Structure 1
Amino acid sequence: MKKRMAVICMLMLSVTTILGGCGSKDDGSDGGKTKIRFATWDVAEDVDKQQDLVDKFNEEHDDIEVTLEAYGSEFDTKISAGMGSGDTPDVMYMWNYPAYYDGLEPLDDYISEEGEEYKSNFYDTLWDYNTMDGSIYGIPVGFTTHCLFYNKDIFAEAGVEEPTADWTWDDLQAAAKTISEKTDAKGFSFQMKPDPYDFEMHLWSNGTAYCSEDGTMDGNINSDASKEVFQMFQDMEEEGYAIATEGDGTDEFRAGNSAMYVYGSWSINTLNEDGLNYGVTTIPAFADAGQDSVSILSSSGLSMSKDSKNKDAAWEFIKYWTNEECNKVRIGTELPVLNSVVESEGIMDQVEYAPFYTMLEQSQGHTPASFIIEDWSEVSENLSLSFEQIFNPSSMQDVDEVLDNAAK
């Protein structure tokens, strides 16, 4: 029997050799080298930097070859088309998990195999933004929370003490009023048509949200606590010490037309290049809420297509792209997501970056409405219109009425 099996095995080996072995399979491999595709949404110089990291990975791996595909502004279109046709890249950047997670591979088992130390090196809050229905679909790559930026020179001119981490919105309003009275700048600026995804953080800070855990908006977005938030922003604008901007507020801040605004870490490099004398601190808390302020996260992850034929190779690349070395290389374009890198690079000693990590720690346990409401894209559009009705200086509609309508 053993001899018969040996003969069969020899015949199978001969046939395999004749047909070219595994190289003949349509699995993305070529001559023993597994090929995988990696899709990014970045453009220009960022893509060049990413290509350098891809090249380094390819040089270090004789068995895997990664091809970088830069989709830029067409990222969502191409990912959607790829998922529809079964031609999705093996690895891709990801943030909109509610829209795409059905086409992604759950990564919980891969993470478990790496051990607890691997997972615990990432900041806990980041896992919440890379999870859907209890499964992890992306490994954190970068993030930003939001913080309060302030112009030190304007504060000095107005004779107002600079903001601190224990400020409330009452403190901000008092400072903004004085600045508007004593300088040519407005005390505070915010978006006239804020992104609903971002603005929900202010409701969280006041103990409420757009919706309940089951997606019910009525009684939540139009709760008293929610109305208080919107009314506060409208009052600041109406009373003349805050301006509602068309953009994100960075241009007004850079020009010295606004002394304070709330934004992510994206503007830090620009403000540094300008030589602006600015400071950063945590978002003010609501005095009566009895809790720290909370921030939304803008988070990116690296995901794997569930249709990938080379998932082991894809995971090898995902581990590389999210490791300490690559995390360090990307400092300046995104905030590091690994505790070990934050410690080794002294990030918490850098006054412009540390508050973003404080906000990260304060913001755990909050789920954005976009992860809960199934038709979020439609709801988001309607909310944008509602916000504009409240904050557009040509309308300034009644907060109670607008939010009651938004809840329907």
Structure 2
Amino acid sequence: MKNRFWGKRVLAVLATASLALPLLAGCTASESKDNEQRVLRVATLWGGQDDSYFRQQFTDAFELTHPNITIEVVPAVDQGSMYGYGNQEEQKDVPDTMESLKKIMTGDNPVDVIVADTATIKSLIQENMVKQLDPLMQEDKFDTTDIVPSVLEGIKDLGDQSIYALTPTFSSSALFYNKGMFEKAGVEPPTDNMTWDDVFNLGTRLTKGEGKDHVFGFSFSTYQGGSPYYTMSQYYNSLQLKIFDDKAEKMTVDSPQWEKVWSTISKLALDKVIPKGDEPQDQDDSGRYNPIQGDLFLGSKTAMVIGDYSYINQLIDANKNADKMKDFTKVDWDVVTPPVHPEAPEIGGNIYLSNLMAINSSAQNPDDAWELIKYMNSEDWAKIKARSSYEMVSRKSFIKPKDGMDYNIQAFYTLKPVPPTNSNADKLYQKMPNLWQVSDKGMEYFNQVLENKKTPKEALGEWAAKGNEMLEKLKKNPKATFQ
């Protein structure tokens, strides 16, 4: 009887032990995985032997909190390979960034994570080369409610409303205005969500003075000098206007939309509402460093200007050191959202998502890849990087005005970013190194409008004809050059 009872106990213990074995095995495997030293390969578009800046900005904190994971930074293109670029005989060696990236994403030792800009990520999504993140986010209950809505929407626009990448930071611009100038003129200052026409009308009202005392109502740039030909791209980018088609085979500038752009901007320049580019520049003959020289806004030479987020640092520093600078008056400023077009009321400014992080579809280590992206976009990381001078973190809870100031910080992230007009652009410029001259040629014709030698319609028509000749030449010889 006693032996039978003992036998039942032994069987019960064995049964319990057998049930526990899978759990123990699971724990052991999990512990082994956690303690195992692993390498996570992270691709960047450009880089070299010294990747310390990238590591300081992004991966050092991750390695500190994940001691079992070592980050290996793998640039798609080594910057050293660009030495000699511009020499005619060397142009054939200019690397194709996208092709170089695809090579390190495939093969025997593919990278796990890609850090790139919107155009690159969009191309990779279209070619099914990066993983969709939505399932991983749902499984881990990754909270996106605190991510800046315009950033999240910009990301979704790349992947047909699905998420294929996340970015821990972004950069942006806003419309800075001089509060004192508006008060003195008795004019209501700009507000959020104004149209370009509204801002130009305000600028016209604030324009005053002659010669060295002239004050512009508006400027596309903080810096003095230079034709508005390039800076006015901020005006037409959200309209998705292109200079030539996606294959760089035909010019697209001979259109009513382009005519309206050139007519609007050239009139503002001729009326001196915006700088024309040929104004005499301020000279400082003292030989001392003058941080405000050539700065239209700090020099109180313009009432409104488009400036990026980092410009705030210059304004704060200048105002703090006002007593050390001759003839400088503190600028009482604030910001509002960049102007928009009625056709695209939610899109404006220059919101750059240049550090998008995606997982390679062929990743060898997809779990750690997701762990890195998840960490880089977490509240903990945002808390560490929230004081960055040049970019904002994507989690809006940690975006605060600098130095305890009170300005409209939301102006930098209310609007959606302008989507890429051509995700193939980088490849085109790499295939045809002198393609930029087709765009550059436009300045010659725009300046003829500013000189009242041609109407915008005439100038655009001539640019289209000349550009088509240049594109035809490049089609036959991608390395063609132009005088």
With structure 1 as the length reference, what TM-score do the two structures score? 0.68
Asked whether the equivalents of residues 237 and 243 of structure 1 are also in contact (C-alpha less than 8 Å), the reply is: yes
- Tell me the residue number matched to 2:442: 386
1:6-39 CA-partner distances (Å, limit 9, x unpaired): xxxxxxxxxxxxxxxxxxxxxxx9x931112335
Q: Distance in 2 between matches of 1:48 and 1:374?
A: 24
What letter matches 1:254 in structure 2?
L
Q: Taking structure 1 as reference, are residues 219 and 69 closer, same or farther at Cα in structure 2, changes over 3 Å only?
A: closer
- Tell me the residue number matched to 1:299: 353
Q: State which of 103, 107, 125 in structure 2 corresponds to 1:84.
A: 103
- Tell me the residue number matched to 1:251: 295
Q: Secondary structure at the match of 1:242?
A: coil
| 1:176 equivalenced with 2:203 (yes/no) | yes
Q: Taking structure 1 as reference, are residues 219 and 232 closer, same or farther at Cα in structure 2, changes over 3 Å only?
A: same
Asked whether the equivalents of residues 150 and 413 of structure 2 are also in contact (C-alpha less than 8 Å), the reply is: no
| 1:354 equivalenced with 2:410 (yes/no) | yes
Q: Taking structure 1 as reference, are residues 155 and 125 closer, same or farther at Cα in structure 2, changes over 3 Å only?
A: closer
Q: Taking structure 1 as reference, are residues 140 and 90 closer, same or farther at Cα in structure 2, changes over 3 Å only?
A: same
| 1:368 equivalenced with 2:420 (yes/no) | yes
1:215-238 CA-partner distances (Å, limit 9, x unpaired): 999998655344323321111011
Q: State which of 49, 56, 69 in structure 1 corresponds to 2:61.
A: 56
Task: Identify the range of structure 1 (131-140 vs 56-65) with the bigger mean alpha-carbon deviation.
Answer: 131-140
Q: Distance in 2 between matches of 1:238 and 1:304?
A: 50
Q: Taking structure 1 as reference, are residues 327 and 402 closer, same or farther at Cα in structure 2, changes over 3 Å only?
A: farther
- Tell me the residue number matched to 1:37: 41
Q: Distance in 1 between matches of 2:132 and 2:79?
A: 26
Q: Secondary structure at the match of 1:118?
A: coil
| 1:329 equivalenced with 2:384 (yes/no) | yes
Asked whether the equivalents of residues 152 and 162 of structure 1 are also in contact (C-alpha less than 8 Å), the reply is: yes
Q: Secondary structure at the match of 2:143?
A: helix
| 1:265 equivalenced with 2:309 (yes/no) | yes
Q: Distance in 2 between matches of 1:395 and 1:305?
A: 54
1:145-194 CA-partner distances (Å, limit 9, x unpaired): 43211223444454544222364444433443343324532222236242
Asked whether the equivalents of residues 114 and 359 of structure 2 are also in contact (C-alpha less than 8 Å), the reply is: yes
- Tell me the residue number matched to 2:71: 66
Q: Distance in 2 between matches of 1:111 and 1:396?
A: 60
Q: Taking structure 1 as reference, are residues 72 and 388 closer, same or farther at Cα in structure 2, changes over 3 Å only?
A: farther
Q: Taking structure 1 as reference, are residues 242 and 91 closer, same or farther at Cα in structure 2, changes over 3 Å only?
A: same
Q: Secondary structure at the match of 1:231?
A: helix
| 1:232 equivalenced with 2:264 (yes/no) | yes
Q: Distance in 1 between matches of 2:197 and 2:204?
A: 11
Q: Distance in 1 between matches of 2:140 and 2:266?
A: 49
For 1:16-165, what aligned pairs fall within 5 Å after superposition?
32-39=36-43, 50-51=55-56, 54-67=59-72, 74=79, 81=100, 83-84=102-103, 86=107, 89-95=111-117, 96-97=119-120, 98=122, 102=127, 104-108=129-133, 111-114=136-139, 118-127=143-152, 129-130=154-155, 132=158, 134=160, 136-165=163-192
What letter matches 1:107 in structure 2?
Q
Q: Secondary structure at the match of 2:357?
A: strand
| Structure 2: segments with no counterpart, 5+ residues | 1-32, 83-94, 221-226, 279-292, 320-330, 469-483
For 1:173-252, what aligned pairs fall within 5 Å after superposition?
173-182=200-209, 183-190=213-220, 192-194=228-230, 198-203=234-239, 209-210=241-242, 222-244=254-276, 251-252=295-296
Q: Distance in 2 between matches of 1:385 and 1:90?
A: 42
Asked whether the equivalents of residues 57 and 320 of structure 1 are also in contact (C-alpha less than 8 Å), the reply is: yes
What letter matches 2:103 in structure 1?
G
What letter matches 2:147 in structure 1?
F
Asked whether the equivalents of residues 238 and 344 of structure 2 are also in contact (C-alpha less than 8 Å), the reply is: no
Q: Secondary structure at the match of 2:40?
A: strand
Asked whether the equivalents of residues 445 and 460 of structure 2 are also in contact (C-alpha less than 8 Å), the reply is: no
| Alignment coverage as a number of residue pairs | 364
Q: Secondary structure at the match of 1:188?
A: coil
The alpha carbon displacement at 1:272 in A equals 2.1
The alpha carbon displacement at 1:384 in A equals 4.9
Q: State which of 456, 465, 475 in structure 2 corresponds to 1:399.
A: 456
Asked whether the equivalents of residues 47 and 79 of structure 2 are also in contact (C-alpha less than 8 Å), the reply is: no
Q: Distance in 2 between matches of 1:116 and 1:397?
A: 60
Q: Taking structure 1 as reference, are residues 133 and 318 closer, same or farther at Cα in structure 2, changes over 3 Å only?
A: closer
1:54-80 CA-partner distances (Å, limit 9, x unpaired): 333223224322245789993996775
Asked whether the equivalents of residues 283 and 293 of structure 1 are also in contact (C-alpha less than 8 Å), the reply is: no
What letter matches 1:36 in structure 2?
L
Q: Secondary structure at the match of 2:339?
A: coil
Q: Secondary structure at the match of 1:194?
A: helix
1:100-131 CA-partner distances (Å, limit 9, x unpaired): 55594223355444466534543454345446
Between structures 1 and 2, the one with greater strand share: 1
Asked whether the equivalents of residues 169 and 285 of structure 1 are also in contact (C-alpha less than 8 Å), the reply is: yes
- Tell me the residue number matched to 2:15: none
1:275-300 CA-partner distances (Å, limit 9, x unpaired): 243221123355x7695663453113
What letter matches 1:315 in structure 2?
W
